[in-house]
């Protein structure tokens, strides 16, 4: 008979003799040196590190005249990854975001966070309408990488590194432009605060009262630990709002 035991144990074989029978079993060790992330935020953090390194190699040196990266807690809580100059756009306070859960999928949308649950169960506002964020621009990236498409889309970010990213399709979008666009469709911070509890109360995974005639809809990820509510915006609309678009590829020499 086969026996899969605690993953912390080493692989070994053994025999037990009992009542004239010989029972052979194997204890199989599963490598736990790199634990699987338990939450979406853990997975996003792994992808964020790869994205940051890639942008520092191939975006900022080529497309900005100056930039400063901030990894300290204060700037991160303010929604500032970098401050840079791009052409005639000066002192841009940038928050870098990516479609890290759908690498190689050419997703025609981007999700903007409305709220989520912390591990303590505390409901927390998302970054889009957070008044504590100083973000002025989002650098939004869709990723293509040398990662097998046999790997489920939501697991590909675990394999992402700065070295296996093939290209980024990236939009620089003013945060206010996004918020103003949403307001045109009746979505602002007050409306979000009113409707989010109703969405969460449904307990249903997926779009909430989706309207295909508009470029923005609410989506509830009920199956995730953080149970986030996002506003999903079409890429086409974001392309209309973008002040810059970049195709970022590795540059050698």
Q: What is the pLDDT of residue 154?
A: 84
Q: How far apart are CA 46 and CA 30, in angstroms?
A: 21
Cα distances (Å, whole numbers) of residue 217 to 15, 117, 182, 237: 60, 20, 10, 12
- Collapsing DSSP to helix, strand or coil, 136 comes out as coil
Contact 227, 153 (CB under 8 A): no
Contact 43, 157 (CB under 8 A): yes
Q: What is the pLDDT of residue 73?
A: 96
H-run or E-run covering 45: helix 40-58
User: What tens digit of pLDDT does each residue of 215-243 get?
Assistant: 999 999 999 889 999 999 999 999 999 99
Contact 219, 230 (CB under 8 A): yes
**Strands ordered across the beta sheet of 229-234:** 123-125, 109-117, 229-234, 216-220, 206-208
Tell how strand 89-98 and strand 137-145 pair up. parallel
Segments making up each domain of the chain, as ranges: 1-33, 40-248
Low-confidence ranges of the chain (pLDDT < 70): 1-43, 253
User: What tens digit of pLDDT does each residue of 179-209 get?
Assistant: 999 999 999 999 999 999 999 999 999 999 9
Q: What is the pLDDT of residue 220?
A: 97
Q: What is the pLDDT of residue 161?
A: 96
Q: What is the pLDDT of residue 41?
A: 59
Q: What is the pLDDT of residue 20?
A: 52
Which candidate, 72, 111, 110, 75, places its Cα nearest to that of 93?
A: 75
Q: What is the pLDDT of residue 159?
A: 94
Q: What is the pLDDT of residue 253?
A: 61
């Amino acid at each position: 008979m086969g026996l899969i035991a605690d993953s912390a144990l080493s692989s070994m074989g053994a025999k037990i003799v009992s009542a004239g029978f010989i029972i052979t079993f194997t204890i199989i060790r599963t490598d736990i040196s790199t634990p699987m992330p338990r939450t979406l935020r853990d997975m996003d953090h792994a992808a964020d590190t790869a994205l940051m390194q890639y942008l520092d190699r191939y975006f900022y040196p080529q497309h900005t005249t100056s930039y400063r990266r901030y990894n300290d807690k204060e700037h991160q809580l303010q929604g500032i990854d970098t401050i840079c100059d791009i052409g005639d756009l000066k002192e841009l306070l940038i928050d870098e975001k990516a479609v890290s859960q759908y690498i190689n999928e050419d997703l025609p949308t981007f999700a903007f966070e409305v709220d989520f649950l912390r591990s303590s169960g505390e409901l927390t506002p998302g970054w889009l309408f957070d008044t504590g964020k100083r973000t002025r621009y989002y650098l939004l990236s869709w990723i293509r990488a040398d990662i097998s498409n046999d790997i489920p889309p939501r697991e590909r970010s675990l394999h992402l590194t700065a070295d296996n990213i093939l290209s980024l399709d990236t939009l620089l979008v003013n945060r206010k432009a996004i918020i103003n666009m949403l307001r045109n469709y009746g979505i602002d911070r007050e409306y979000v605060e009113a409707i989010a509890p109703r969405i969460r109360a449904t307990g249903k995974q997926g779009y909430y009262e989706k309207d295909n005639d508009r470029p923005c809809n609410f989506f509830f990820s009920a199956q995730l630990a953080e149970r986030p509510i996002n506003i999903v915006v079409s890429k086409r609309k974001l392309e209309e709002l973008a002040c810059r678009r970049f195709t970022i590829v590795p540059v050698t020499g």
